[in-house]
Amino acid sequence: MRHIRSKIYHPMTQGKIERYFRSMKNLILLDLYYSPGELEVRIGEWVEYYNNHRYHEAIDNITPSDKYFGKDQEILEQRKKTKTETMKQRKRLNQTIALIERTNLEYDEMRNYSLTSRLLLSKSFNDAQGGYRMENIKKEIEEMVNRETKAWDTQDVDLLMTLFHQDMVWPWPRTPQSHDPMEWVLEWGRYNYDRWKNGWQELFDTHKLIHNNREIQKIVISEQGDGAFAVVDIDTLWVDLKDNKNHWKGRVGKVYTKIGTEWKLIMHTGVLDYS
């Protein structure tokens, strides 16, 4: 990568950074700020959003951080697979429509059918369409769970950070038996890219992963297709340099929300033992 310096006081040669400043001002200037510190915090939040959550058309609609850390090809490949599967489902749906059309149920003929028959025909079509959509969403949620499992297995903090929604808050039970939320704690607060990344990296640097077993028990998708949760049984054992164990064993709930074309983890229950 070569650093090219542009001429000072000459914005015509600095198109990219000038466009960046315009994007920032379009949002930042919508609010009023009563101290320099408040403005600095807001700018920091915007920069974090711009680098880690905002999709950029010039780099194939991925985030700058994914591009920088070399995740772009993996993301584009996953999108390609999703598109291929969607096209297959669309083909099956079109075949269903063609089958219905081949019945030659014109309007005059349809009037001869009872209301119940017409409703059943319409319902069968809608069920087929909805079934294909829900199955595709289920696969996307499974990919999210599997991506998280891979991040733990490989201790890839950058891959792990691709999962989280920017507004996520993660309460943790003190123990697997802490079913009462009165005993839960907040260690890191609302999602912050640097704080969360450094926290997980510290775990990876100071602990050895002994095993990480995860099994999806259930996936539930909202009727609107914009929310979902997965129930997962986990058994993950970490050991630090002093041979102290950090054992995550039990059942968790992972709550996902759809942002644009992607799913993000927005809430996560801590590990609880239900045995």
User: Could you report the per-residue pLDDT of 34-88, keeping only the tens digit for each?
Assistant: 999 999 999 999 899 899 888 888 888 999 898 888 888 988 998 898 888 888 8
Q: For the segment 50-62, what is each residue's pLDDT rounded down to a tens digit?
A: 998 888 888 889 9
Architecture, CATH, for domain 70-275: Roll (3.10)
DSSP string, 182-237: GGEEEEEEE--HHHHHHHHHHHHHHEEEEEEEEEEEEEEE-TTSSEEEEEEEEEEE
- Kindly report whether the global pTM for this prediction surpasses the value 0.95: no
The DSSP letter of residue 243 is -
CATH 3.10.450.50 positions along the chain are 70-275
147 exposed, middle or buried (CB, 10 Å; 0-12, 13-18, 19+)? middle
